[in-house]
Amino acid sequence: MSTAYTPRPEDKFSFGLWTVGNRGRDPFGEAVREPLPPVDAVGLLAEVGAWGVNLHDNDLVPIDATPADRDRIVREFKAACERHGIVVPMATVSLFFDPVFRDGAFTANDPGVRSYALQKTMRAMDLGAELGAKIFVLWGGREGVETDACRRPDEAVKRLREAVNFLCEYSIDRKYGFRFALEAKPNEPRGDIYMATTGAYLGFIATLDHPDMVGVNPEVAHEQMAGLNFVHAVAQAWEAGKLFHIDLNDQVSGRYDQDFRFGSANIKTAFFLVKFLEDVGYDGPRHFDAHAYRTEDYAGVRDFARGCMRTYLILREKARQWNADSEIQAVLSETRDAPKFAPYSAKRRDELLQQPFDRASMARKGLAYERLDQLTIDLLLGVR
C-alpha cells in the first residue's frame, strides 16, 4: 500500500477563494485571521498541491470596484493563476452577502432586487468566462423565508425558474458554454431556503427551458444538515446525468453549517462517497467547500487544505482495496443477479402474475450485511 497521498493535477482538487480565505467570522465572534488577498490565496493553493481555484464575483472584485479597478484585479489574478499553474474551473456569484439580498435575490419580493440580482449574475458570468470557467454554480442562499406569510412558495419557484431560464439564454447568447450547477441547502442563513435538497433541484431542472444546460452541485454539509444520506443524493444526480459539480466538506447533522475538513466528521460516509465518485468515473472537479477551524492561523489553513486532499486520496485507495477484496465481493456476488422485467408485454405480465413464490424461504436467507459492514469497517481502520 502506498503511503504517499500527494495530490496531483489529474486529481482535480479545487478550493474556493472563500475557503482558504475564510477569516473565521461567525455569529458570535469577530474574524480571527487577517485578510488573504486573492493572489496570495492562489499561491497558497499551489503550495499545498491544489489544481484549481473557484470564486464568487466579490471574492475577487469588491462590489464597489470601478471598471478600471475590476480589470486590474482580474489581470493580476489571471497572472497569478498562470504563474502558479492554477486553473479556474468554476465561478459563481454572491447573491447573499450584501444587505440588498436580505429578502432573497431572484425570489425577493422587491422587483428591483430581482433585476439587480440578474444583472449581478450576468456580470459574474462575464467574469467567470474571462477566467476560463466552464461551470457556473448558483447557490440561492437568501432565497427563502423566516415566515411563510411573506410570499407564496409557488411564486418563489416561478421567479427562480424565470431567472435561471434567462441566464441560460445569456450564456447561449454570449457563447460562454456554461453548464449551470444548482446548489441546494435546507436552511441558514434563511429560516428555510427554497429548493431544500439536491432532489428538489433535480425536479426543478426538468421544468426549465434548457434542462440540458443545468445540473446540480450537491454539497456534503447541506444534505447532512438535514440528516439525509449524501451518497444517495449524489447517486441520483449522477444516474440522471446531472452531477455537474460537487462540494466536499463535512458536517454533523442537525446543526449550523460547519464546513469541516473533508472526511473529518463522518469517515464512513466520506468513504462511500469517494468510492461512488471513483467507481462511476466522475471526472469533474473535486471541490472542497470547507474552511479551517477558527483556532487556526494560516499554517493551520494549510494543514486544513492538505488534510482535505489527503483524506480523499486515502479513501480512494481504500475504495480500490474494497473493490479488490475477494471476501467482500463474495458476499455481494450472491445477491447481484439482475434479471430485467422490461420490456412490458402481455406474456411477461402473465408469467409474472402466475409465478409462484416461496415467501417464507426467501425471507429466511441471511444476507450477511453485518459481516459485509464489519469488513468495511476493518478495511477503513486499516486492520484488513
* Stretch in the footprint of a second copy (CB under 8 A) among 6-14, 39-47, 76-84, 140-148: 140-148
Residue among 136, 178, 204, 312 that touches a second copy (CB under 8 A): 204
Helix intervals (H) in the chain: 17-20, 38-48, 57-60, 67-84, 111-130, 153-173, 198-205, 220-225, 230-239, 267-280, 298-324, 326-333, 346-354, 359-364, 369-380
Backbone angles phi, psi at 114, to 5 degrees: -60, -40
Shortest distance, CB of residue 83 to a second copy, whole angstroms? 27
27-46 residues near a second copy, rule: CB under 8 A: 27-32
Dihedral sign (CA 287, 292, 297, 303): negative
243 DSSP β-pair partners: 216
CA distance 198 to 215: 10
Give the other-Cβ count within 10 Å of 149's Cβ. 7
* Stretch in the footprint of a second copy (CB under 8 A) among 40-48, 71-79, 83-91, 199-207: 199-207
Any catalytic annotation for residue 56?
yes
Residue among 82, 102, 212, 329 that touches a second copy (CB under 8 A): 102
CA distance 336 to 101: 50
**Secondary structure (3-state) at 244:** coil
Q: Would you give the binding string for a second copy spanning residues 292-311, x where CB under 8 A is met?
A: xxxxxxxxxx-xx-xx--xx
Looking at beta carbons only, is 76 or 96 nearer to a second copy?
Answer: 96
Any catalytic annotation for residue 59?
yes
Question: Residue 177 region, left (φ>0) first, then alpha (ψ -120 to 50), else beta?
Answer: left
Looking at beta carbons only, is 26 or 82 nearer to a second copy?
Answer: 26
Which among 56, 222, 245, 291 is annotated as catalytic? 56
Shortest distance, CB of residue 343 to a second copy, whole angstroms? 8
* Stretch in the footprint of a second copy (CB under 8 A) among 37-45, 77-85, 127-135, 237-245: 237-245
Looking at beta carbons only, is 151 or 179 nearer to a second copy?
Answer: 151
Looking at beta carbons only, is 76 or 236 nearer to a second copy?
Answer: 236
Give the binding-site size for a second copy (rule: CB under 8 A).
168
* Stretch in the footprint of a second copy (CB under 8 A) among 37-45, 74-82, 175-183, 374-382: 374-382
**Secondary structure (3-state) at 101:** helix
302-361 residues near a second copy, rule: CB under 8 A: 303-304, 306-307, 310-311, 314-315, 318, 328, 332, 335-342, 344, 346, 349, 352-353, 355, 357, 359-360
- Pair type for strands 90-92 and 135-139: parallel
Residue among 16, 86, 264, 286 that touches a second copy (CB under 8 A): 264
Q: Is 79 in the site for a second copy (CB under 8 A)?
A: no
Q: Which three cell numbers stand for residue 112?
A: 428591483
For cell 499545498, what's the residue? 48
Catalytic residues: 56, 59
